[in-house]
Amino acid sequence: MMPGMFVDSISYTIVCLVSTSLAITVPGPGDLGTNVINIGRRGFRTKAPISPDDQDFVFDPTYPRNEIKRILSKYKYAEKILHVVDLPQPVAQEFEMAQTIEQVVAVNATSGDVGAAGFSAKTAQMPLIDDIVGNLDVEYYGPLQMGTQQQRMTVDIDTGSADLWVPVACQGCPHPSYNAGGSASYRTSGRSFEVTYGSGSVSGTLGQDRVAIGNLVIDKQYFGAVNQESNDFEDSPNDGLIGMAFSSIASCGEPTFFENLISSSRIAAPLFSVHLARSQSRGSQLCLGCFDQTKAKGGVTWVSVTSRTYWAVSMPGVTVNGRVSMGSRPVTAAIDTGTTLIYFPRQLAEAFYNTIPGSQQANQYGDGFYTYPCDSQLTISLQFGSNTYAMNTMDFNLGRTSRSSTDCVGGILAMGGDFPTDLAIIGDEFLKSWYSVYDYSHGARVGFAPSINNS
């Protein structure tokens, strides 16, 4: 087979003024109540990793509680964004480099334009580190290079947002800052932005500089240059974040790093693929312009994107042991590598747990939690488009309520209150079972191939 191919959970908002021919306009005050988009950053370190073979671990609600807060902020305007925002048609047409996965594999294996390990020279493979907290794979982050000095910075890979940012000249920050002064190509736009989140704030300017992942380079990539940062970031292992969603939701309206690769014809194919390992600090990967056959065990099935904002697909229902649960209205699912768990609208979550005998609300942990009998024999599948995808129940089990308890906490949480009643967030808990592909062509689509994790 050819190779080819915890601090408090933080939500933040970047505010800036933009004027560019390729800028994507986010709905303004009349549409969303504000002209900024909330994004999230993860990190809540509480204890050492737990082996996935340990079936007696006790549930720790600390991280899930804080991720709920982050999700509420990150997707605060999602309901209106999904129905109002899109890529401008000229920009969307620019991304229609239609290729099949087989063609991508062939491109990545042709002689004459091949890099290391059989990949095309117009691809890059970013190794990701799995940040493991207790029994949770909390986040996946990897390195990129910035500036003419090619300084290494680490970023969380987030398909649920569309901005790149790192600390710059940030005194007192917990991570090394990017040395913008050491780069001959760094430019500041003169535009300010402010980042606010639950218990603190960060601020800085919008900058431009050379950004590279492997041999893929954008010389004038916009990014948030954070120069003030509160101590909420102290325990987060990564320096910053790279958003991999559509620039239609970018807070500053600038094209993303990946979109710039496509529009400048520097990438072999207008897609990227993500492999998330389970309970292994090494082995995960972001594959830009490529599909790595060594990370998948079968072919790809595709689901059309319903909104070129998030990687949003239709979700007709969820099945438990063959029984289908559906919400009261059609549900859109955002495929989000920047989220750890799975979040359903309350009514769909209630219908889902009603199909598991012995399950019940777990109000002792807060709103949205459920328990189920630990010895339940479950087959759980999510429906996207016309396809059904099973998930490993090892990832669904968040732990026992106590060491001697026969009840376990489920990894699908209910979202109520102001959260959209037609939106589900599908995080790493599901994606560890599937090698996911994010394709800008064919009108935009998400593909899933069985992961090697299922071996």
Containing H/E element for 126? strand 124-133
Q: Quote the DSSP letter at residue 379.
A: -
Choose the catalytic residue: 60, 130, 131, 158. Answer: 158
In the chain the first and final C-alpha atoms are separated, in Å, by: 16
C-beta pairs of 176-181 under 8 Å, 24+ apart in sequence? 176/239, 178/146, 178/147, 178/151, 178/153, 178/225, 178/239, 179/147, 179/149, 179/151, 180/147, 180/207, 180/209, 180/225
CA gap 75, 37 in Å, rounded: 9
Choose the catalytic residue: 8, 60, 130, 336. Answer: 336
Nearest to 439 by CA among 259, 258, 271: 271
Nearest to 4 by CA among 103, 117, 100: 117
Nearest to 245 by CA among 4, 94, 446: 446
For 353, the 3-state DSSP assignment is helix
Place of tokens 């047409």: 93
CA gap 337, 126 in Å, rounded: 15
Residues 6+ apart with CB under 8 A from 19: none
Q: Which two tokens stand for residue 280?
A: 């292994």
Number of helical (H) and strand (E) elements in the chain, helices listed first? 9, 28
Nearest to 206 by CA among 197, 214, 195: 195
Following DSSP, what letter does each residue of 30-97 receive, concatenated? HHHSSS--EEEE-----S----TT-TTPBP--HHHHHHHHHHHHHTTTHHHHHHH----HHHHHHT--
Residue 158 designated active-site = yes
CA gap 134, 63 in Å, rounded: 10
Residue 232 designated active-site = no
Q: Using an 8 Å Cβ cutoff, are 209 and 187 in contact?
A: yes
Active-site positions read 158, 336
